[in-house]
Amino acid sequence: MPRQYQFRTVEGEETVQIAVRGRQVLARPMLNFGPGFTPEQRRALGLTGLLPPAVNTLTEQVRRTYDQFRGQPDALSKYVFLNALQDLNEILYYRLVAEHLPEMLPIIYTPTVGEAIQKFSATFDRPRGIYLSIDDADGMDEALAAHGQGPEDVDLVVVTDSEGILGIGDQGVGGIRIAVGKLAVYTTAAGIHPLRGVPIVLDVGTDNLDLLNDPNYLGARHARVRGERYDQFVAQFVDAVTRHYPHALLHWEDFGADNAHRILATYQEEHCSFNDDIQGTAAVVAGAVLAAVRAKGERLRDQRIVVHGAGTAGIGVADLLRDLMVDEGLSTAEAERRFWGLGSRGLLHAGTTMRSFQRRYARPESEVLSWQVEVAGRYDLAEVVGQVQPTVLIGASAQPGAFTEAIVRDMAAGCDRPVIMPLSNPTARAEADPQDLLAWTDGRAMIATGSPFGSVSHGGATYEIAQANNALVFPGIGLGAVAVRATRVTDGMVAAAARAVAERAPAGRGAALLPPMSQLRSVSAAVAIRVAEAAMAEGVATRELANPLHDIHQLMWQPVYPRVEAVSHIEEPTARPVEQIEAGVG
């Protein structure tokens, strides 16, 4: 199909060439400026009489849509409103979100997107993304081609199989909304052009009985396919997406724990792959830990770290912190001995059942034989904290209230500045409330949470509570990898992201351990610069940046109406030139 429009950016100035006319312009979200079109543009594009006569600036449009947003009765209604705006005028949508990011990020991303995913089959709206079904695996190439983007048009693919969505588990085909939401954050935070990202869901069925018995369910109506057939489908997908989008970063999102680790291990050395649940979570939590250790005047290698919830995210955090300890001079084995992980059966230790990716953190049997426990062979969090006296306690268990007063006081008795991170989402699943943590430690706790919490007053002082939101790191990691066209995302690049976030954390007692979400765009740029530099240093960059700060800044798309050129046809680019090209066919 001939290209109908094309965005081109040269030295920071964006132009859109438009080869369609009239209502076809207004039907395309990236082209529909609504009353933002000037009289000259309206005549050139055949829009005369199709819009009210007044001409609005983008600022005026943002003000009006923000009033509409605030008038919505609840968070889900606000999500629906923003979703409809994105389908109508995508540039206005991104400008509105960018100007009110702290308020709107929880709407377009976690936690509200979780509720929207659960209601995916109950709503009727414009479908976004690509739906690849295991029941029609042979149609995969046709589906990717139907999306309309060529090999030079895509920088980023976000894909999910929906088994581990946020804190709500298997959501079947509705998981497409997490991929769409992730790309919205990539664009808002890191300036990835809206046309250069593709959201994809791999529909392999669902084990969610509510969905299987819902007459409105829109996905494959059978149990989730596993084993060899599943692996073949994923391999077929990786092959197809690599052929169609050879330069794209492949972002794996919300896969089940076993599949997530196995898929990342299988493809990360062959393709530019990134798993946000493993590597993104690790980077933002490690950034908070690094900031806390720096504030205490200590070394990371000297910390004793307990991870309550040593699953996909928890082990990812441990792996990155281990690597950072190795950078400080420990051997890998020595670093791994600084961690105590707890899974569903308690402490990971030799002789118990565990997943393959957990085994490296299993404690030797000789260490725990002398521990006094109520049930032989089972060592719970209270016992581990009492025996280990950790300096860092990380929660990724989804067990609300797991960090009890007794456990926290026991930890604080052996540590002057305990670092405590109840990271489970949503708020109802948090292992502890920051206000309680500060009360139980006499204001000494250094806290980061997974859900947003307000500031806490204690003992006449105000404490800002950092939110360990992956949005602080994954957009910058993606932008940095895209900027240098990295062949893979290395552990060093993820570590660079963690250090970049830690460096931008506020200083001082009571200050948050991470930068505020209001600084998300500048944080993403800083992360991208460090990630790009790490990629170049490690030899995985295929494009060198002469001036990373300038080049990254120039690459970040801005949500402003571009200059308009009405043309009769658009030449098909044979390769992506030095300037950015973002083309559309529909």
CA 465, 467, 473, 475 torsion-angle sign: negative
Overall size of the chain counted in residues: 586
Is-catalytic flag, 78? no
| CB 396, CB 313: distance < 8 Å | yes
**In this structure, what are the phi and psi dihedrals at residue 342, rounded to the nearest 5 degrees?**
-120, 125
Known catalytic residue at 182: yes
Is the separation of the CB atoms in 223 and 230 below 8 Å? Answer: no
**If residue 466 lies in a helix (H) or strand (E), which one and from where to where?**
strand 466-467
Residue 116 tokens read as: 């929207």
Q: What is the 3-state secondary structure (H, E, C) of 326-362?
A: HHCCCCHHHHHCCEEEEECCEECECCCCCCHHHHHHC
> In 3-state terms, what secondary structure has residue 506?
coil
In angstroms, the CA 289 to CA 446 distance is 9
User: What distance in Å separates the CA atoms of residue 24 and residue 41, rounded to the nearest whole number?
Assistant: 14
Q: How far is CA 332 from the centre of its chain?
A: 28
How far apart CA 555 and CA 171 sit, in angstroms, is 35
Cα–Cα distance between 416 and 404 in angstroms, integer?
Answer: 18
Residue 129, classed as helix, strand or coil, is: coil
**Catalytic hit among 182, 186, 217, 267:** 182
Q: Which pair of structure tokens corresponds to residue 516?
A: 């505020």
List beta partners, residue 190: none
* Placement of tokens 């042979």 in the chain: 138
> What single DSSP character describes residue 486?
B
Catalytically annotated residue among 5, 79, 94, 109: 109
Judged on CB neighbours under 10 Å (0-12, 13-18, 19+), 531 is buried
DSSP symbol at 464: P
Active site residues: 109, 182
